[in-house]
Structure 1
Amino acid sequence: MARHNELGRQGEELAKTYLEKSGYEILDENWTFGKAEVDLIVYKNQVIIFTEVKARTSNSFGEPEDFVDNRKQKLLAQAADEYIYLMNHQGEVRFDIIAIRFRQDGSYTLKHIEDAFWPSAD
């Protein structure tokens, strides 16, 4: 398995554990619709939260959260629309990012950015 895939999987597991410990209910993992994949779909306080997890070993090219560009946001919004429709969810939704930076010694920092973006309708 490629190193970046392994890093991504490890990041998603850390994010999932963090969210569970923070009182979120995990609804789905790696949920796909069309070309979009939502890493984690969680629920808390009657809000469905579509969570993108980004893990990096360096910030040489930017912080992990910088890699959730407009194209990715639009794909996530399309997937979210379908998920909301399928679940008949009538409440609020939001889009979060969990950014994880791994250090060479195996330690890491985790940053949870709530309401990180709201995809534009265009």
Structure 2
Amino acid sequence: MSHNLTLGRAGEERAAEHLVGEGYEIVDRNWRCSDGELDIVAVRGSDIAVVEVKTRSSTRYGHPLEALDDRKTARLWRLAHMWARAHPNHARGRRVRVDAIAITGADPARASIEHLKGIG
């Protein structure tokens, strides 16, 4: 397994732990459809947070969230609505939003974490 894939998976695990610590329930991970993949889908109260996780070992080549341009954000919104249509029992009566979590540091378990709510 490549270093980047290992780092990414560790970052997603850290992001999920962060969300659970903030009172979210993780209802889906790595959901795939023909249009792409969602890293994490989490529910808290009346909100569904579709969370894109970006993990980098450093900011040498830029901040992790710089990878989320308008095109990527629009795609995440499309995928979020596709997920909600595919999971009506979770989605009914809840607001969907797209969040981003940046994990920055060589060791994801101790790296810095930033959670941006409601992007795009």
Cα RMSD, aligned residues only: 1.6
Name the CA distance, whole Å, in 1 between partners of 2:64 and 2:84: 27
Q: 1:60 to 1:86 in 2, by over 3 A?
A: same
Name the CA distance, whole Å, in 1 between partners of 2:102 and 2:33: 23
Larger RCO (CA within 8 A; separation ≥ 6):
2
* Aligned match for 1:97, one of 94, 97, 100: 100
Letter in 1 for 2:62: G
* 1:16-56: CA deviation from partner (whole Å, max 9, x where unpaired): 11111111000100011223211000000111110000000
TM-score in terms of structure 1 length: 0.87
Is 1:60–2:63 an aligned residue pair?
Answer: no
Q: Is the 8 A contact 2:80 2:98 kept in 1?
A: no
Which stretches of structure 1, 4 residues or longer, exceed 3 Å deviation after superposition? none
Name the CA distance, whole Å, in 1 between partners of 2:85 and 2:52: 20
TM-score in terms of structure 2 length: 0.88
Q: Is the 8 A contact 2:12 2:39 kept in 1?
A: yes
SS in 2 for 1:7: helix
Q: Sequence identity, in percent?
A: 33
* 1:71-114: CA deviation from partner (whole Å, max 9, x where unpaired): 2212212211111112232421111111010147x731011111
